Amino acid sequence: MSLFHLQDLLAQAAARFPERTFLFQDELIISYAEAAQRVERLASGMLERGVRAGDRVLLVMENRVELPLLTLAATRLGAVFSVLTAQITVESFQRIVGQCEPTLVVFEARRPELRAGLEAAVVWLDGVPADQESRDHSYSTLEQSALTEIPPSEGGDALAFLVFTSGSTGMPRGVMLSHANVGFVTKAIMQRLQYQETDRLALLLPMSFDYGFYQIFYAMMSGCAVFIGRSEMSGPELPRLLAHHEITILPGVPTLFAGLIKMQSYRPVQLPALRLLTNTGDHLPLPHIRQLQQLFPATKVFPMYGLTECKRVSIMLPEEIDAHENSVGRALDGTEVWAESPEGQRLTLGEVGEFIVRGPNVGLGYWRAPEETAKRYRSLEDGTRLLVTGDYGAVDAGGFLHFHARSDFMIKHRGHRMSPVEIEEAACRSPLITAAGCIKDEAKNALCLFLTCHGAQPDDAALFAELAQHLERAKLPDRLIYLAELPRTANQKVDRKALRTLLAEGLPC
């Protein structure tokens, strides 16, 4: 039996759904069959420019139709691709280049400063800028390359792509994911979510965020159509955009869904086609789940939990939410999750400890970072890999995971160790609160709760009284701070580091 290769997803989709829409953006519509043809030409062009199996290809751009085609072309050659946001700093980009030594880099024209000093071949999406080197290429010439015979490449446990995240040292580190990782986890996720070939998916999350990019894999497996959007589209125009494109699936993060709740509460737009909302990246507060269910009674809400290092850990089915309100679902089929003590002992059901993940979804480690890899990955004698997540929670008798907090965000205050998630969820129980972010101001020994509101700012005394109904005294915030919008990361999560920066720069709390 041949080993799974990422190129199989497109080849099979093009055979099963040749005329169905795969990608669409503005006036551009690309079918699965046309995508397969374009990928062959792009791969031929990359081969002509020196890309071989195992080489690294960096794609520095925001969401656009060309992005998934370029990744699939690199995959066709057996090259290792990585998608980076076009907002990346010069310093971070140079560090990543130094680590992965790319053979080819693709840029948007608005980031010419990233070109300086690169030895790799360069392709510009919107034409070669006049002040760039004559040896650079345009995307159009790459796509018009003559077809050539492409040598076969390895699948299975061979490296497929890198997802760069911030390491504990502050240096970018590339999570290594194999073809087999993708093949297993994509199938396991689709067993729960059940995308259909008639679905139309709105991809507004950046594809530099692995949750956003994996939607391309899910589409190829199911045959659905993907609208290539951008993060800024998740603002006030979101409901009308969903209605206009008859979107049936909206993958998001809590900040996106908080905004959707706010917009639908004030100026509702009928969205009869919408059937699935899927959340990951951060904890989706139960009050927000309930509000989404009320606003969209015919739509299924799927809370999920995962990490880049293994893609997905657990998925909660909509019909399980009522009986397991505080859970993030059961582990994927074919995987196992348990909690361990600080001494590495497996804890009994219900005890809180660090989550350990075992299964074919666990990645290969961090690119050229053996020390970081040793901290987060364990290899057993039979070759099985375990992921030490750094996240804390418990597993109950039914196999449902109860997430408490990521270790980076755990707070010690008034002699108690607490999760900001619990405090944020309590705040979101108020119908006036859109989103919440909790951090500790170490300088003032104060627990600070940042909030955004639906409309008028609530009375502090009333909100404190409401919080006291759901939180122990030690977990009550010392200050409430209201912002028009909470700062977000490039992946649209609440940026708690930015909240700390606001405090350090003198914002009163």
Residue 374 lies in a domain: yes
Count of C-beta atoms within a 10 Å radius of residue 7: 23
| Range list of β-strands (E), 145-253 | 159-166, 172-178, 200-203, 225-228, 249-252
| The dihedral sign for the CA sequence 179, 180, 183, 184 | negative
58 and 115 housed in the same domain = yes
387 and 461 housed in the same domain = no
CATH number reported for the structural domain that contains residue 113 in this entry = 3.40.50.12780
361 and 431 housed in the same domain = no
| Range list of β-strands (E), 320-473 | 330-331, 336-340, 353-358, 365-366, 377-379, 385-395, 401-406, 411-413, 416-418, 433-441, 446-453
Residue 389 lies in a domain: yes
**Cα 21 from Cα 483, distance rounded (Å):** 41
Q: DSSP 3-state assignment of 37?
A: helix
**Cα 365 from Cα 167, distance rounded (Å):** 12
473 and 392 housed in the same domain = no
42 and 97 housed in the same domain = yes
What H or E segment, with its residue span, contains residue 309? none
**Cα 359 from Cα 390, distance rounded (Å):** 17
Which residues, other chains included, contact 509 with Cβ-Cβ below 8 Å and sequence gap of 6+? 441, 444, 446, 448, 479, 481, 503
**Cα 194 from Cα 408, distance rounded (Å):** 33
Domain hosting residue 69, numbered range: 7-176
CA 381 to chain CA mean position, Å: 32
Question: What Cα–Cα distance (Å) separates residue 460 from each residue in 464, 480, 481, 483?
Answer: 6, 7, 10, 14
pLDDT tens, residue by residue, 455-494:
778 888 888 888 888 887 878 888 898 998 888 887 677 8
How far from each other are the two terminal CA atoms of the chain, in whole angstroms?
61
CATH number reported for the structural domain that contains residue 366 in this entry = 2.30.38.10
400 and 317 housed in the same domain = yes
CATH number reported for the structural domain that contains residue 491 in this entry = 3.30.300.30
Show pLDDT as tens, one digit a residue, over the chain (509 residues).
469 999 999 999 999 999 999 999 989 999 999 999 999 999 999 999 999 999 999 999 999 999 999 999 999 999 999 999 998 989 999 999 999 999 999 999 888 899 988 999 999 998 887 776 677 899 999 999 999 999 999 999 999 999 998 654 457 899 999 999 999 999 999 999 999 999 999 999 999 999 999 999 999 999 999 999 998 898 889 999 999 999 999 999 988 998 899 899 888 999 999 999 999 888 888 989 999 999 999 999 999 999 999 999 999 999 999 999 889 999 999 999 999 999 999 999 999 999 999 999 999 999 999 999 999 999 888 888 999 999 999 999 999 999 987 766 677 776 666 778 778 888 888 888 888 888 888 878 888 989 988 777 888 888 888 888 888 787 888 889 899 888 888 767 788 888 888 888 776 54
Residue-level length of the chain: 509
Q: Produce one character per residue of 452-472: b if its CB has 16 or more CB atoms within 10 Å, e if not.
A: bbeeeebeeeebeebbeeebe
Residue 339 lies in a domain: yes
158 and 20 housed in the same domain = yes
The CA-based angle 351-354-359, given to 5 degrees, is 110
404 and 416 housed in the same domain = no
